């Protein structure tokens, strides 16, 4: 704990250098936000706007354009992954190397993750059968989560 002040600064700095990016203030701030999100476990998926707002809320001056640029750099560097749920805006999450798919609540936007080896296996087979060299895939399930269903039931009662 006594090292925490140093530590909190060093970790993102090191991670950035590891992937060949200069450890600038905006990049460190943004990486920290992702790490916090990752640890807190819940809000892993963030949009450019989410990040921008959070930085502004912390009284950190930054341009929205910079957020976009940094996110692109992070994605290229393999630190984060970009997703397009729904239609509109892109969201990003830390790339911990462990692939997973998503189920998104159409009411509250909550995102849960899952993996299914059998589905993955079948995807590969399908690609082969259709003559494609598989590069990647995107599977998103959409539905209503437990909480929202409960709320809806209560609203009706």
Partner DNA sequence: ATCGTTGCAAAATCTTTGCAACAGG
Partner DNA sequence: CCTGTTGCAAAGATTTTGCAACGAT
For residue 64, give both structure tokens. 């929205």
The reply on whether position 81 binds DNA by CB under 7 A is no
User: Between the CA of residue 112 and those of 38, 79, 82, 102, 137, what are the distances in Å?
Assistant: 13, 20, 16, 6, 17
Partner touching 43 among its own copies, DNA, none, CB below 5 to 8 Å by kind: none
Partner touching 99 among its own copies, DNA, none, CB below 5 to 8 Å by kind: none
Residue number with CB closer to its own copies (55 or 145): 145
Rounded Cα distance between 144 and 138, Å, is: 20
The reply on whether position 18 binds DNA by CB under 7 A is no
Rounded Cα distance between 112 and 102, Å, is: 6
What is the pattern of x (binds DNA, CB under 7 A) and - over residues 21-40? xxxxxxx-------------
The reply on whether position 90 binds DNA by CB under 7 A is yes
The reply on whether position 47 binds DNA by CB under 7 A is yes
Residue 86 C-beta: closest distance to DNA, Å: 10
* Orientation of helix 25-40 relative to helix 64-77, angle to 10°: 70
């Amino acid at each position: 704990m006594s090292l925490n002040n140093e530590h909190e600064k060093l970790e993102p700095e090191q991670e950035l250098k590891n992937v060949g990016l200069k450890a600038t203030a905006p990049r460190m701030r943004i990486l920290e936000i992702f790490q916090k999100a990752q640890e807190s476990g819940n809000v892993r998926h963030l949009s450019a706007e989410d990040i921008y707002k959070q930085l502004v809320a912390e009284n950190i001056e930054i341009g929205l354009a910079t957020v976009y640029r940094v996110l692109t750099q992070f994605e290229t560097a393999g630190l984060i992954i970009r997703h397009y749920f729904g239609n509109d805006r892109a969201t990003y999450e830390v790339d911990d190397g462990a692939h997973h798919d998503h189920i998104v609540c159409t009411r509250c936007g909550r995102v849960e993750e899952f993996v299914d080896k059998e589905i993955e296996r079948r995807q590969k087979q399908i690609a082969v059968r259709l003559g494609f060299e598989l590069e990647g895939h995107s599977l998103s399930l959409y539905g209503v989560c437990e909480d929202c269903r409960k709320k809806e039931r209560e609203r009706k009662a």
